[in-house]
Amino acid sequence: MSNSYSTSAILSDPASTVAGRQVTFETPERMGNASNFAFATGNCENVLSQAFADSCFITDSSSYVEMAEWRVPLVSLEHDEIEFIINYRTHGTVTGCNVRFTVDIDSSTFTSVLSLSSTTNGFANNDVTVTFPSSGTHYYATVTMEVQANSGAEVEIFSVMGYFKRLASPLSAGQKTPYDNTKAITPFGINRLKVNQAFTSRFAHNIIDNIDELRKRFRSLLSWSGVYSTSSTLFPSFTEAAMSQIYIGSGDIGTLLAYPLLPSGFENLDFDKLQLHVKVIGDIDFTFFGQSLSINQASDTTIGWHTFDLEIDNGQLSVVGDTRLPYYDATFDNNAENSASLVDLDTPRANRYPPAITGAAKTRNTIIGLSLIGV
């Protein structure tokens, strides 16, 4: 019995379920195949993706320095390989330049190091295998990116991408774990769904249970990080490395956005379905997606991630394109609260992060990382 899947036999004939019509074996076979395929490959797409202006994401540090950090959704507690890809450029003599990604899942950390070669426009990639905690519910990871340039060299990053790898066919035997260790998804042995095989109620129950769990799987809708520790002797001017964006500002209103698909009935789902993850220095009040959110931390220099469950209002529906599908414009609202709270020319910050520095105009009350994830 093989828990295999094929991309050529995913969709079953919807007319085959009409009352009074004979059920052919292809229908349950394709349903089982689709269930295996959805579990193995669904949402195995970019969980982080960000590009940067030329000469802004750059460092000449000879030791590892933190440059960016993101929150990313997991695919399941079976998808344990995440691959990182960067587009980069090196300056000077390159002998020991590296990029290191650290994946943190509930305080368990795993690293992937990309060794860089001399290039004016190159790519590097590497993956890392993670181990999930044996109990509890886990649906996101924190990814930290650090860069090291050898003495006399500089590393410039153009773009960063990361995704979880698909599970290969056939799936291994046994039930599979989604986000919650107490739940399970049951793969289907495709050979047991062929002609002359028993058609049981267990098949129907497993299909329904699998759908209930798979619909809870998060995908990344928006991933953004400030550029933290830039330093450069080649590009030191205020239009280059010295002015890379660290904090969310008023210029991001209406420009840093996502369009999640939220159909009718979405608001009635009784599980986590749309979340905003925010990395903040100090305290801040802001409005995102029509909802006023508040973060209060221990001090001006406290740095932490915070999670908000967002609710939708179908009365604010926005139709995008000519398909008339229910998309929403998820962004920072253009209102007085954001004008007062987000960094702009009237409320600048005199210092770069890191480190976090106490003082009204230093680094406090700022957003330095943001991710929107949804089912």
Q: Which residues share a beta bridge with 105?
A: 108
Answer yes or no: do 149 and 80 share one domain: yes
Q: How far apart are CA 109 and CA 304, in angstroms?
A: 17
Instruction: Residue 33: give the domain boundaries.
Output: 14-41+180-214
pLDDT confidence of residue 265 = 76
Whether 144 is covered by a domain: the verdict is yes
Answer yes or no: do 332 and 259 share one domain: yes
Q: How far apart are CA 140 and CA 159, in angstroms?
A: 22
Contact 159, 51 (CB under 8 A): yes
DSSP state, residue 264: T
Answer yes or no: do 318 and 341 share one domain: yes
> What's the pTM value of the predicted model, to 2 decimals?
0.91
- Total domains present in the chain: 3
Answer yes or no: do 268 and 135 share one domain: no
Answer yes or no: do 232 and 104 share one domain: yes
Alpha helices, DSSP H, located in the chain:
26-41, 201-214, 336-341
Answer yes or no: do 107 and 185 share one domain: no
pLDDT along the chain (375 residues), means of 10: 76 69 76 91 94 92 95 95 95 89 94 92 92 88 95 93 94 91 88 72 88 93 94 82 85 90 79 94 94 94 95 62 71 92 84 84 91 94
Contact 191, 349 (CB under 8 A): no
Whether 174 is covered by a domain: the verdict is no
pLDDT confidence of residue 160 = 97
DSSP state, residue 143: E
pLDDT confidence of residue 7 = 75
Whether 6 is covered by a domain: the verdict is no
pLDDT confidence of residue 17 = 64
Answer yes or no: do 51 and 35 share one domain: no
Answer yes or no: do 196 and 238 share one domain: no
Answer yes or no: do 310 and 361 share one domain: yes
Whether 304 is covered by a domain: the verdict is yes
Whether 1 is covered by a domain: the verdict is no
CB atoms closer than 10 angstroms to residue 39: 26
Whether 3 is covered by a domain: the verdict is no
Total residues found in the chain within this entry: 375
Q: What DSSP line would sit under 69-134, residue for residue?
A: EEEEE-S-SS--EEEEEEEEEEES--SS-EEEEEEEETTEEEEEEEE--S-SSEEEEEEEE----S
266 phi and psi, to 5 degrees? Answer: -60, -40
Domain harbouring 65, CATH code: 2.60.120
Whether 8 is covered by a domain: the verdict is no
Please give the torsion angle defined by the CA atoms of residues 23, 25, 31 and 34, in that order, rounded to the nearest 10 degrees: -150
